[in-house]
Amino acid sequence: MQLVQSENYQVATEYVKRLGVEAVGNLINTAVDVRRQSYSPYSKFQVGAAVLGSDGMTYKGCNIENASYGLTNCAERSAIFNAVSHGCREFVAIAVVADTDGPCSPCGACRQVIAEFKIPYIVMGNLNGEYTVVTLQELLPYSFESADIKTESV
């Protein structure tokens, strides 16, 4: 698949340089590949995600829906939970891909989980090879995090 950057081109180019063009391409291709495992009989909207761990491993995830719609797990959270289940808690970047017009953007719930693990770069793509990269700070500014919980004050 021919990859073409869209949206915040200048700043995204800098992020791609930091991550490495090959690493970004591998993450997108892995997300496209695992998207085929999507269990989405209700929305019929297939999503794939791949997260690169600091251990150098790539962990995959797809969206998994449920007859009780609210129990649906998005591809991004599936990928992160897969990584954590394998003992990986530190990450370099996450990619998400779906059949969207522009790059597919993570939902609010996934943004919060991405923030929990402080994943620094988020690669958003689609099946046409259009993609962009944003930082965690750009994706979810003013995030609520563990440091905000003061258990002593209870």
Ligand X SMILES: O=c1ccn([C@H]2C[C@H](O)[C@@H](CO)O2)c(=O)[nH]1
- Tell whether residue 74 is a contact of ligand X (CB under 6 A): yes
Task: Determine the interface stretch with Zn ion among 91-99, 110-118, 120-128, 140-148 (rule: CB under 5 A).
Answer: 110-118
Q: Which of residues 68-87 bind Zn ion (CB under 5 A)?
A: 74
- Tell whether residue 107 is a contact of Zn ion (CB under 5 A): yes
Q: Which of residues 25-44 bind ligand X (CB under 6 A)?
A: 40, 43
Q: What is the DSSP string of the chain?
A: ---EE-SSHHHHHHHHHHH-HHHHHHHHHHHHHHGGG-B-TTT---EEEEEEETTS-EEEEE-B--SSGGG-B-HHHHHHHHHHHTT---EEEEEEEES-SS-----HHHHHHHHHTT--EEEEEETTSEEEEEEHHHHSTT---GGG--GGG-
Catalytic one among 76, 90, 116, 152?
Answer: 76
Task: Determine the interface stretch with ligand X among 79-87, 101-109, 126-134, 139-147 (rule: CB under 6 A).
Answer: 101-109
Q: Which of 52, 79, 104, 113 binds ligand X (CB under 6 A)?
A: 104
- Tell whether residue 49 is a contact of Zn ion (CB under 5 A): no
Q: Give the Å distances, CA to CA, from 48 to 18, 74, 97, 117.
A: 23, 9, 5, 19
76 is known as an active-site residue: yes
Binding site for ligand X (CB under 6 A): 40, 43, 45, 47, 63, 65, 72, 74-76, 96, 104, 106-107
Q: Which residues would be at the binding site for Zn ion (CB under 5 A)?
A: 74, 107, 109-110
